[in-house]
Amino acid sequence: MNRKLKSDELSRIDKLNFKKSKKMEVIVILDNIRSGNNVGSVFRTSDAFRIEAIYLCGITAQPPQRDIQKTALGATETVNWQYFKNALDAVKAARDKGYKIMSIEQTKNALMLDQFIPETEKKYAIVLGNEVRGVQQEVIDQCDGSIEIPQFGTKHSFNISVSAGIILWDLYIKTNPFK
């Protein structure tokens, strides 16, 4: 029988062990995200993939903002996060820690996600931009490259929380960080 598992059967780690656990060497940089719900969703997805940190920039809401808490379901207590006045400072901070910076954006020389092969032993920071304007050009200019998620419908972009999920899953699959 294909029965839905109960929460206590999922073998999830608790908050204390999460904090001490090995992390996927990824930082998510959120560049002026308007929606607290999107921010909360990124926290929840980041918890699921045990990423290193989230950098919140500019107008991006910070915990304990209500909409973040509603969608994060406690992930703001497990995922490390830091606020930066602007995304350029966040990019510099990630680069100073040895991260390769990739914007998730449609640019002239963007690499399609299915063609993206993460370099072995590299740490990555991904920049996700505003729901309407995307990643700021001045931030793209400071990135090591851009990754585009292929799309085939009439819309020009995914919701940023969906993009975060797609990119983090792809990085997880391609790097196998918890082997």
Residue 48 tokens read as: 């699921």
Res. 34: pLDDT tops 90: yes
Q: Maximum Cα–Cα distance for the chain, whole Å?
A: 54
Report cis status (omega within 30 of 0) of the bond before 64.
yes
Res. 6: pLDDT tops 90: yes
Res. 179: pLDDT tops 90: no
**155/149 Cα distance (integer angstroms):** 12
Q: Are residues 6 and 33 in contact, defined by beta-carbon separation less than 8 angstroms?
A: no
Residue 109 tokens read as: 């020389």
Residue 63 tokens read as: 């915990």
Report how far Cα 145 is from the mean position of its chain's Cα atoms. 16
Question: What's the mean per-residue pLDDT of the chain?
Answer: 96
Residue-wise pLDDT tens digits, 71-124: 999 999 999 999 999 999 999 999 999 999 999 999 999 999 999 999 988 999
Q: Which residues pair with 128 in a beta bridge?
A: 30
Q: Are residues 71 and 159 in contact, defined by beta-carbon separation less than 8 angstroms?
A: no
**Terminal Cα distance for the chain, rounded:** 30
Res. 1: pLDDT tops 90: no
Output the pLDDT for position 17.
94
Output the pLDDT for position 84.
98
Output the pLDDT for position 120.
86
For domain 22-149+156-175, give its CATH number from 3.20.20.120, 3.40.50.720, 3.40.228.10, 3.40.1280.10. Answer: 3.40.1280.10
Residue-wise pLDDT tens digits, 111-120: 999 999 999 8
Residue 58 pLDDT class (50, 70, 90 cuts): very high
Return the DSSP state at 65: -
